[in-house]
């Protein structure tokens, strides 16, 4: 039930650097509860590498996943700043304003901004 969804972290991103990220919508088959999560890592050369890792993990928990788009995250943990920008060629641009709201829940003391800049 709701416990399993609560166990899924809103955000899993690298602690430092600039890397690709995707915004993923989790949904119970047949509707019902849904939520959006943010995943990003330097280990991913392409955005679909992130999705290919997240999707099976979430399917095991009984969720359908849909990628809502992607972009890049610049994470500066020293200055406590996160910048969300760019887009995914394959998935299109995520709604960075949504991503920022999700990030703010986890990084409460950070300055978090977004733009449609490519770099």
What are 49-95's pLDDT values in tens digits?
A: 999 999 999 999 999 999 999 999 999 999 999 999 999 999 999 99
What are 35-54's pLDDT values in tens digits?
A: 999 999 999 999 999 999 99
In the residue annotation, 49 being an active-site residue is answered as no
The whole domain housing 24 covers 11-114
Sequence-distant (6+) residues with CB within 8 A of 4 are 61, 62
Q: Which has more confidence, 15 or 7?
A: 15
> What is the pTM assigned to this prediction?
0.93
Residue 104 included in any domain: yes
Residue 61 included in any domain: yes
Q: Which has more confidence, 97 or 118?
A: 97
Least Cα distance to 39 among 67, 3, 80 occurs for: 67
Q: How confident is the model at residue 29 (pLDDT cuts 50, 70, 90)?
A: confident
Scanning the structure block, which residue is given the tokens 């760019």?
86
How many domains does the structure of the chain reveal?
1
Residue 2 included in any domain: no
CA dist 79 and 92 (Å) reads 29
Residue 1 included in any domain: no
Residue 3 included in any domain: no
CA dist 84 and 72 (Å) reads 6
Does 20 count as an annotated binding residue? yes
Q: How confident is the model at residue 30 (pLDDT cuts 50, 70, 90)?
A: confident
The SS3 call for residue 42 is coil
CATH number, domain of 95, equals 3.50.20.20
Q: How confident is the model at residue 23 (pLDDT cuts 50, 70, 90)?
A: very high
Q: Is the pLDDT of residue 2 over 70?
A: no
């Amino acid at each position: 039930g709701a416990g399993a969804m609560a166990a899924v972290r809103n955000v899993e991103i690298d602690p430092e650097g600039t890397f690709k990220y995707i915004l993923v919508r989790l949904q119970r088959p047949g509707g019902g509860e849904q939520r959006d999560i943010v995943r990003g890592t330097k280990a991913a050369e392409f955005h679909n590498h992130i999705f290919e890792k997240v999707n099976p993990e979430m399917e095991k928990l009984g969720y359908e996943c849909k990628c809502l788009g992607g972009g890049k995250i610049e994470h500066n943990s020293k200055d406590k700043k996160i910048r969300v920008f760019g887009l995914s060629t394959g998935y299109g641009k995520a709604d960075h304003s949504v991503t920022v709201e999700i990030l703010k829940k986890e990084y409460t003391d950070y300055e978090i901004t977004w733009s449609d800049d490519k770099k």
